[in-house]
Structure 1
């Protein structure tokens, strides 16, 4: 068989391709991985939870007496001034309706009171006549006594008779006034409910005007419409909006890890930047709360004060939801690594470090950690490269390559 130059070239190319393929197959596999460096820097460990803002001193205005509350003169969000702004008006309630039997009884009581009044008037006229007669008798005896024609005993008897008549007259007059009052009370029972005045007339006839107990804003109104209320019924809630604090219910196991004065970050409140706050109080008693999964949890109420000035959070108000990160521990110069590089090996923490392109299993001692990074207490040095999120292909001695170099 005669070889041509063309055949020789084709054969050489095929042999080169087979050789290259064989070389590639003979090389060990390199696993692409994500790398991170062990470095020094600040580390904060926080307790995270959802909280709620609230005004520290909330004042609730209640009805001091039972009566008819008129339609509220203020609206939610209105500014009020202590002792000046009227927040509610109360006037007496209307009398009750009378059924047929109650009306008959009331009319009978009126007739009885009218008769008693007539009787009292007659008794008063009789007592007045007796008083006039006693006065004339006294004047006559007094004149005779002055001329020596009447004895001292007669004078004393006339004087006593006059005093008794005067007392009986006063008693009769008092009885008459009492009977007149009883008649007025009996007639008042027959008063029917009437339509109330509207507009300015209602305000003019109002009996009680309740003013704001503190300067601030109206936070809530129980009911804006006019209605009958009993004494003690809440009407309006008022508070100074700028005087805010934060309340958060922490698990008791988290609450014991923080202390008053701890720094906190307020996030997810609606503004672009996180706000600053400090823990002011950790209540000494826990309470039981059912979680969304139906599990009983022991919770502790923790209170925080804003350190960010009010002008940097003007839109934040009462009962707004926020997200808190309360600092439990902080280090300014800590050797750290990403927490995604850690895994358990025989019950201890370990990582894969990169040594001359190969993955090496390295036990490591971990201290404080948060959701992103962990403190390295031993086993690693600053600058070493560790593999984050190691896959099942990564094991001791495997060749690895930085994934970013393949892009």
Structure 2
């Protein structure tokens, strides 16, 4: 209300200023009208100039009357605001009395609250002790995951810090790894970051994309069971190296169905080549080198350790007969093998079971067989 009074007073001052300005404008217009009338009588100015001056006088008179009306309105507003101020003061006195009564009520409530607070503190102390006893019987998992093993049995005593048997084994499934064994003859080709295709036995032929994340530096014997690296390795035993593969792309249903300990196989892509000559893996065989044309001189025979190595090659079609061609192989894929030397593009090779190819003789007449898929093969 006081702000309204102050605002109304400012408006009154503004209205009075407007009246003063309108009065000045009216006086100025009257002087111009009088001077214009004298000039019209003297014939210096036209009648239209006189009429314009007269209109300005009338306009100034209207502006003055409007300003006087606004001043009167603002004075009425001041009176109304003063009345509201008086009413507010009366209400304030009533509120002061109510505040005193309320304060007495607050003091009484505070006394009751103090008593209740003390009782609450006592109850909280009892509750805290009970929760402490309960928490000693609870174990909270430090990570999200799947329970992989429960080695503890019902009825077994579990004392914190003393028991050597874990309560639960939790598998973190946010990152799924596959551990495979790679033969020592192949491990030098495996590097961290290489892409992998993984098949989990439980999901049949579904392929999961992964990558190599770890290659253990210590070999293990093929007869060793999984779980922990042993340093007691038989030097005569064939060795393998453990390789860890992280699964990076898989369907949601596959991720939900994976469980720790499932069996899986992996194909690691160690190298890729494009625009090369390749043949099916089953087409490549190894043969013993042919015997020399004349017998070796006694005493000049090479020692056992210098025996010639087997020859690697394929049978190609020479017309309708087979011809054994020695080849040099490169990288091996899932079903094909690269031929670096020995074959030309377009040559037809003989494929079939290894037991048949190993007994096949050069110059054998064979015929082509058409598979259902449309691929060609040759047979005797």
Bin of the TM-score, shorter chain as denominator length: 0.3 to 0.5
Structure with more helix by fraction: 2
Larger Rg: 2
TM-score, normalised to structure 1's length?
0.43
Structure with a larger share of its residues in strand? 1
Higher RCO by CA contacts (8 Å cutoff, separation 6 or greater): 1
TM-score normalised over the length of structure 2: 0.46
